[in-house]
Structure 1
Amino acid sequence: MPISKSNFRPGVVLYLDARMLANDPGTTCSVARHLQPMKGHFFVCIKAGTWVPVYSRPGPGRIELDSTEKGGHIKWTTGKSHYHTQQYWTASDDAVALAQHRDHSSDNEVNTVTQDAVTTMIAKLGL
């Protein structure tokens, strides 16, 4: 069952359908469309309405999240996670709720990153 919008807060991680999110008319992204993920991806909420996609592979401009900063479902906590220092999305809670794509979170078990990770991401993104 998808997580409710009342639980969207900094540090929450959701698996979202990036294409569905990108197609919402109120959603914006800081990078060109061809650089955006277009399938299911984990996204970290870093502040209200601001989400950062996370990639499983390193790449130019990407920083790895420390595995000790991740909590929740095994699909999220295992494996490597990287975010791009220039990519963030703004989206309404309604758009994010609709884009929850095969997410294993529930209101009782939410995927997360630590507040320290959120603070670092905000600083690296210059927000």
Structure 2
Amino acid sequence: MSAGTGWTRRVLVVAGVAGMGWWAYLALTSIPSHWWLPWGIWLAGSVALNDAVIAPLVIVLGWVVLVRLPALAQDRAQGRAVAVGQEHVWVGVVLRGLVMVLGTLLLVWLVALWSSVR
């Protein structure tokens, strides 16, 4: 582990906890209290669906892609094909996951705002 890894990890954890707190505050103040039970049921159902269906499917597909298919990229400077390391693929997977989570939270917040206006 490099010297900067501990510091970077701490900053990311603090940023993640702050983001979750902010979105929790927005959810609790933007969603009317009579909607909390239906939203809770919807969230619990989506977690169950994710854990039972989506996550295993993503794991299997990810295993097939990472293990069975060689990832190649064109080295423009040399004009030859080189293999892309698995760590680069994992960074892409993690970044895509973060974008998906933040986009979902933004969508929930916008729906809550739209619902409170009507």
So what's the TM-score if we normalise by structure 1? 0.20
Q: Which has the higher helix share?
A: 2
Q: Which has the higher strand share?
A: 1
Q: Which structure has the larger Rg over C-alpha atoms?
A: 2
